Amino acid sequence: MIDERAVIDKNAKIGSGVCIGPYAIIEDDVEIGENCKIASHGIVRRGAVLGRGVNIDSFAVIGGAPQDVSFDQKISSGVLIGDGTIIREGVTIHRATAKGRCTKVGENCFLMANSHIAHDCIIGNEVKLANGVLLGGFVRVDDHVFIGGNAVVHQNLRIGEGSIIAGNARLNLDIPPFLIVSELVDVHGINVIGIRRRGFGQAEISDLKICFQEIINSPGNPYIKAQIADEKEIAKTILGKVFLDFFKTKGKKGCVHQRHVGRNNE
């Protein structure tokens, strides 16, 4: 059902079974997959592409221009939203800064009220952002990450798969996979509960703990240590290998290391 009071550009592509509420705005060059729901006053700006079954709540703005004073508004860029993602009220997702590029949100994500995803971010599948989370530009968040309310993530960072970030955290370094992090990148060990909920067992957990002790909770450069650990085939399970693989790409800001482990407990 499409409400007659919605404002929809004639060139927008609307799939079957889509519901659009009153006063919603759908701009030119938008594609909306089948069975999507856009509540009243939701806004989908030009260049945005929604997969199937995406749910956008009131006053969310998808595909707004980047908050970059040097950005040329004439550049054609966009936002891609994966199937089944829920976008709650007041969420903002900005389009990319380069021609032909997209800010990307994966499948079955849950973006809670007033969270913000800046330009050129890449968000994996099954990611949850709680209320008020702020992601700077070019942030990458891998699959199965949870970020707590009002956490702030500096631009150009990466958060590895399966990590959990506490509310009000401030991140200025990369976070390797499966870690628990709070405050100013205080590391509290492995996200064991999250790993078990995904169906992994003690073998994977033990393997991750070994990798954690070897790479994060010991002196030295974590990138060099990870390379040595990989050559020695220390990781015995898929999760251990995911952990070590994270360090094959060095980010612009560096990553957490021994100095950040257990600082809240000192």
Q: Which of 47, 124, 137, 160 is catalytic?
A: 137
Catalytic residue flag (residue 94): no
Q: Please, how many CA atoms are within 13 Å of residue 228, restricted to the half-sphere of its CB?
A: 8
Structure token pair of residue 215: 């790479």
Catalytic residue flag (residue 119): yes
105-141: burial string, b at 16+ Cβ within 10 Å, e else: bbbebbbbbbbbbbbbbbbbbbbbbbbbbbbbbbbbb
Q: Which of 57, 120, 186, 207 is catalytic?
A: 120
CB contact at 8 A, 39 and 2? no
**Positive or negative: CA dihedral 174, 157, 90, 111:** negative
Q: Which of 94, 119, 144, 257 is catalytic?
A: 119
Measured distance CA(262)–CA(266) in Å, rounded: 7
**Positive or negative: CA dihedral 2, 128, 67, 33:** negative
Structure token pair of residue 114: 């007033």
Structure token pair of residue 28: 């030119």
Given the DSSP bridges, would you call strands 25-26 and 140-141 parallel, antiparallel or unpaired?
unpaired
Catalytic residue flag (residue 64): no
DSSP state of 249: S
Given the DSSP bridges, would you call strands 102-105 and 37-38 parallel, antiparallel or unpaired?
unpaired
CB contact at 8 A, 216 and 200? no
- Catalytic annotation, residues: 119-120, 137
